[in-house]
Amino acid sequence: MTVADEAQRCPPSEVLAAFVDARLPRMQVVALTEHLSGCAECRFVVESVSDFETDERAEVPVAKSENSRRWAWMSIAAMIAIALVLMPFMSPRWRTFEHDAAIRVLTLFSRTRPRDALTQFSRTRQRDAAIGALMEALPKDDRMVATRITGFPYAPHHIMRGEPGNETPAQMMIAEGKAEELIETTAGDDSPESRHARGIAQLLLGHNDDAIKELTSATSASPNDARASSDLAAAYFAARKYDQAYRAADRAVQLDPQLNEARFNRALAMFYWKPAESKKEWIDYLKHDSTGPWADEARGNLKDLQDPEPLKQ
């Protein structure tokens, strides 16, 4: 694609101005936010206009009412624009979380009071920063749960925590500390996203009942969130409730057929619940994900089906 072609895709200046001024309809806000996440030039325009009008405000007295609301929106717009500009320099492991956070907060422009939007923006940034720190601290040589957590990187699974003779490695203890920090960061925030985050943290800490509680609340509040349902399946699996794990993962697959984490969790739950029926689940998984370490692990589980029963967790 040429530079000219890319320029034609950019919205006109009037649309960017309406965005800064909080006059853009909700659906256009969502679409424009997606564009801003990948277009440095438009982000620069939004940030520059916000800065210019903020400076102008300091020089020209304005009445409180509509103008005061306008400046509040522009302050938030500038903050979000700066966050999006910095995104390319963040760790690739959790850049997706930052991108989704920016999408969610920018959508508030068309339906939330400025102060509430700013508060939510601050909470979202803190929560997603804590998630990023947790992901960076995860052990590279042994993942902390047998299942897949949505968005988390691959690591082999060997150590069964809680079993006699198995000590928790130092790196895993560091990750547990970050999980506790995530719980503290989201304390008092009952949004579905924060409940989801706390559920993941509780799961990694081995607090299975608390993980199920948080993730059940998240799925109840956002019934179409496939990722929360997939992670709820992981929590049920950790609690050895394999039938419930299978059903939660299956629901996640129905909501998002492209979510490989859910397909893996569904197959693994069936592997422990009804081993003889799990072959088709692993084959189904490999149809959607045939390369990489997760696929290799799936093939290994298929091979284990030759044994009388799978190894106990």
The DSSP-derived string for 293-305 is HHHHHHHHHHHHT
Helices (H) and strands (E) in the chain, counts: 15, 0
Q: What pLDDT does residue 279 have? A: 95
What residue ranges in 209-303 does DSSP mark as E strands? none
Q: What pLDDT does residue 62 have? A: 46
Mean pLDDT of all residues belonging to the chain: 78
Q: What pLDDT does residue 77 have? A: 52
Model-level pTM?
0.67
Q: Name the nearest CA neighbour of 260 among 299, 232, 287, 224.
A: 287
Q: What angle do CA 93, 42, 32 make, to 5 degrees?
A: 75
Burial of 143 (0-12, 13-18, 19+ CB in 10 A): buried
Q: What pLDDT does residue 49 have? A: 58
For the chain, which residues make up each domain, given as ranges? Answer: 1-125
Quick check: 117 pLDDT over 90?
no
Lowest-confidence pick of 86-95, 180-189, 235-244: 86-95
**128-176 pLDDT tens trace:** 889 999 999 999 999 999 999 999 999 999 755 545 555 568 899 999 9
pLDDT > 90: percent of the chain: 50
The C-alpha R_g of the chain, in whole angstroms, comes to 23
Lowest-confidence pick of 13-17, 29-33, 40-44, 79-83: 79-83
